[in-house]
Amino acid sequence: MTPVFSPPLHRQRHQFVIDFVKRHKPKKVVDLGCSECCLLKKLKFHREIELLVGVDLNGAIIKKKMHGLAPVSTDYLQPSYDQLRIELYQGSVTQKDMRLRGFDLVTSIELIEHLTLDDVERFSEVVFGYMTPVAVIVSTPNFEFNPLLPVLAGFRHSDHKFEWTRAEFQSWALKVCLQYGYEVEFTGVGKAPPGQHERVGFCSQIGVFHRLGGRKSCNTLFDDDAEDVFSYTLLYSINYPSLRDNNILRRVLVSEVLYWAEKLKRRCMEEKTGKRDEAYMLSQTEEGAEECLRASEQCMEMEEKQTGEHPESSENCLEQCSGGVPEVQEGEDEDVFWTNRKGQQESCILHRSVSVPLAVLWSCCPKVSALSGSLSNLRHLLMDEPNVKLSQDGSAVLLQEQEEEEDNDVEDSGYGEASQCSHSAEQEGDWEANV
Ligand code: SAM
Torsions phi, psi of 261, nearest 5? Answer: -65, -40
CA of 33 to the centre of ligand 1 (A): 3
Provide the domain limits for residue 396.
Answer: 246-400
Does position 429 have pLDDT exceeding 50, yes or no? no
pLDDT band at 410 (very low <50, low <70, confident <90, very high): very low
**Taking a C-beta distance cutoff of 8 angstroms, is the pair 334, 392 a contact?**
yes
Residue range 123-142: mean pLDDT, rounded: 98
Residues 253 and 233 in one domain: no
| Residue 434 belongs to a domain | no
| Residue 435 belongs to a domain | no
Q: Which of 223, 243, 263 represents a domain boundary (last residue)?
A: 243
CA of 280 to the centre of ligand 1 (A): 55
Does position 411 have pLDDT exceeding 50, yes or no? no
Domain count, the chain: 2
Residues 264 and 385 in one domain: yes
| Residue 258 belongs to a domain | yes
Give the position, in ligand 1's atom list, of the atom nearest the Cα of 58. Answer: 16
- HEC sequence for the chain: CCCCCCCCHHHHHHHHHHHHHHHHCCCEEEEECCCCCHHHHHHCCCCCCCEEEEEECCHHHHHHHHHHHCCCHHHHHCCECCCCEEEEEECCCCCCEHHHCCCCEEEEECCHHHCCHHHHHHHHHHHHHHHCCCEEEEEEEEHHHHHHCCCCCCCCCCCCCCCECHHHHHHHHHHHHHHHCEEEEEEEECCCCCCCHHHHCCCEEEEEEEECCCCHHHHHHHHHCCCCCECCEEEEEEECCECCCHHHHHHHHHHHHHHHHHHHHHHHHHHHHCCCCHHHHHHCCHHHHHHHHHHHHHHHHHHHHHHCCCCCCHHHHHHHHCCCCCCCCCCCCCCCCECCHHHHHHHCCCCCEEEEEHHHHHHHCHHHHHHHCCHHHHHHHHHCCCCCCECCCCCEEEEECCHHHHHHHHHHHCCCHHHCCCCCHHHHHHHHHHC
136: nearest Cα among 242, 300, 24: 24
| Residue 177 belongs to a domain | yes
pLDDT band at 150 (very low <50, low <70, confident <90, very high): confident
| Residue 424 belongs to a domain | no
CA of 181 to the centre of ligand 1 (A): 26
Residues 211 and 348 in one domain: no
Which residue's CA is minimally distant from atom 16 of ligand 1?
A: 58
pLDDT band at 221 (very low <50, low <70, confident <90, very high): low
Pocket test for ligand 1, best of 111, 123, 126, 156 (most atoms within 8 A of CB): 111
Q: Which residues, including other chains, have CB under 8 Å from residue 39's CB and lie 6 or more apart?
A: 14, 17, 31, 107, 109
**What whole-number percentage of the chain has pLDDT above 70?**
71
Residues 239 and 250 in one domain: no
Pocket test for ligand 1, best of 35, 66, 95 (most atoms within 8 A of CB): 35
pLDDT of residue 225: 53
Does position 294 have pLDDT exceeding 80, yes or no? no
| Residue 317 belongs to a domain | yes
CA of 68 to the centre of ligand 1 (A): 18
Residues 259 and 391 in one domain: yes
Q: Which of 243, 276, 292 represents a domain boundary (last residue)?
A: 243
Of the ranges 28-32, 227-231, 243-247, 331-335, the best mean pLDDT one:
28-32
Residues 238 and 251 in one domain: no
Residues with CB under 6 A from ligand 1: 10, 33-35, 38-39, 55-58, 61, 92-94, 109-111, 114-115
| Residue 430 belongs to a domain | no
pLDDT of residue 152: 84
**Taking a C-beta distance cutoff of 8 angstroms, is the pair 175, 125 a contact?**
no
Amino acid at 82: D
pLDDT of residue 276: 61
CA angle at residue 118 from 114 to 121, to 5 degrees? 95
The partner residues of 208 in beta bridges, in order of sequence, read 137, 185
Which residue's CA is minimally distant from atom 17 of ligand 1?
A: 33
pLDDT of residue 97: 97
Query: Who has greater pLDDT, 207 or 419?
Result: 207
Residues 236 and 251 in one domain: no
Which residue's CA is minimally distant from atom 22 of ligand 1?
A: 92
Does position 6 have pLDDT exceeding 90, yes or no? yes
Least confident range from 96-100, 352-356, 368-372: namely: 352-356
Residue range 44-49: mean pLDDT, rounded: 95
| Residue 344 belongs to a domain | yes
pLDDT of residue 296: 52
Least confident range from 86-100, 104-118, 228-242, 258-272: namely: 258-272
Does position 53 have pLDDT exceeding 70, yes or no? yes
Least confident range from 79-88, 106-115, 140-149, 391-400: namely: 391-400
pLDDT of residue 345: 29
Residues 237 and 269 in one domain: no
pLDDT of residue 213: 87
Does position 192 have pLDDT exceeding 80, yes or no? yes
CA of 93 to the centre of ligand 1 (A): 9
Taking phi over 0 as left and psi of -120 to 50 as alpha, with beta for the rest, 171 belongs to alpha
Residues 135 and 27 in one domain: yes
CA of 107 to the centre of ligand 1 (A): 11
Which residue's CA is minimally distant from atom 15 of ligand 1?
A: 33
Residues 251 and 358 in one domain: yes
Residues 357 and 251 in one domain: yes
Does position 44 have pLDDT exceeding 70, yes or no? yes
What's the mean pLDDT when you consider all of the chain?
Answer: 79
Residues 320 and 387 in one domain: yes
Which residue's CA is minimally distant from atom 14 of ligand 1?
A: 35
Model pTM score: 0.75
pLDDT of residue 295: 54
The CA-atom distances, in angstroms, between 155 and each of 34, 149, 163 are 21, 11, 7
Residue range 140-168: mean pLDDT, rounded: 94
The CA distance from 393 to 135, in Å, is: 56
Does position 48 have pLDDT exceeding 90, yes or no? yes
CA of 158 to the centre of ligand 1 (A): 13
Query: Who has greater pLDDT, 288 or 69?
Result: 69
pLDDT band at 372 (very low <50, low <70, confident <90, very high): very high
Which residue's CA is minimally distant from atom 5 of ligand 1?
A: 38
Least confident range from 64-68, 193-197, 402-406: namely: 402-406
CA of 69 to the centre of ligand 1 (A): 18
The CATH number given to whatever domain includes residue 124 is 3.40.50.150
